[in-house]
A and B are shown apart, each in its own frame.
Chain A
Amino acid sequence: MPAATIIPVTVNGEAREVPLGLALPDLLRLLDLDPEQPGIAVALNGVVVRRADWPGTPVEEGDEIEIITATQGG
């Protein structure tokens, strides 16, 4: 079996290497996040991806991904 191809991406400003062929929920699980958890949102290359569209959104080489939540603020 050939080794999985690894691609570089940026998640929350940090460079990471992830296997090719992940969809957004797979990426979240890889990062120890629960894709079912409410209160988080994802932007891919500066565009918000609606939660319903996560499963159909592949992670591609060079993608810039932001994963956010609400925290204390004024």
Chain B
Amino acid sequence: MAEITTPIQTAQDEDVLRIGPLELRSRVIVGTSRYPSPQVMLDAVEASGAELVTVSIRRVNLRETDGESLLGLLRSRGYHLLPNTAGCYTAREAVLTAGLAREALGTDLVKLEVIGDDETLYPDVEQLLKAAKQLVDDGFHVLAYANDDPITCRKLADLGCAAVMPLAAPIGSGMGLVNPYTLRIIRETLPDTPLIVDAGIGTASDAARALELGYDGVLLNTAISGAEHPALMAAAVRHAVEAGRLAYRAGRIPRRLYANASSPMDGRIDAG
């Protein structure tokens, strides 16, 4: 039997996400942290369908310098690496970390994260904007983790960030989209900027909702790594993101308060 390509399949194949120099077929970006073992991580990343995966930049352990590196494992499987600046509290730290990442990994991509405190892990907006400007000036493709604040997100886009990534809820909280209204405003304010929901995703339906709101993708870690079966959750997220994207492109019906009969009223029988 000849292979059949459906119009929907073709439409999905042509639906590419462009961030900086990347052309991604998958709208799922995953972290590589907090997994019980490297193999569980690799299986989950594969099941998620992600092409772009985040890594962090840390001091080399000088007491234990052998062992197969995470980097080698990920690179051999062909993933694009997105180094982050997690743990940085100041623009200066973040800029240095990004510079080290560029040198170590040979990439101009960076997930910029400049946090304000340990409890909320909310971005420090002042330092975030300062770091974003410096990094864009230095030629980085900056994917900026941001508050779900339309003004901050607009400023990051105006600075030339390759993607703006407002949080759905605090990092690792799994609370889902706690304020879908501001996320909608951000989407409407920045129609041409790649927007990713980063942080707060708890399960597959949260990811679907983010895409239904018109977000270009999701970035998540704990929802997968902390699930009882990480690879199953990764697969669920993959399908949810595809479903959410299709629903967004399909254009949902408006909400209405009262019923609207689906079946025609004409030609009803009359037993009265």
Contacts and interface: CB of A to CB of B under 8 A. Distances in A.
A39 B105 contact: yes
A28 to B, nearest CB: 9
A7 to B, nearest CB: 18
A6 interface: no
A73 B32 contact: yes
Tier of interface size on chain B: 35 or more
Contacts of B222: 74
B62 A31 contact: yes
A69 to B, nearest CB: 5
Tier of interface size on chain A: 20 to 34
Interface in B93-109: 96, 99-105
Contacts, number: 104
Given A68-B104, A72-B35, A48 B96 contact: yes
A43 B100 contact: yes
Most buried by B among A11, A39, A42: A39
Given A31-B62, A43-B96, A72 B103 contact: no
Contacts of A31: 62, 65
A39 B65 CA distance: 13
Most buried by A among B58, B60, B86, B102: B60
B33 A68 contact: no
B59 A32 contact: no
Contacts of B58: 68-71
Nearest to B221: A74
B54 interface: yes
A20 interface: no
19 contacts: A14-B62, A32-B65, A38-B71, A39-B72, A42-B100, A50-B103, A67-B59, A68-B58, A69-B57, A70-B71, A70-B83, A71-B56, A73-B32, A73-B55, A73-B56, A73-B57, A73-B86, A74-B32, A74-B34
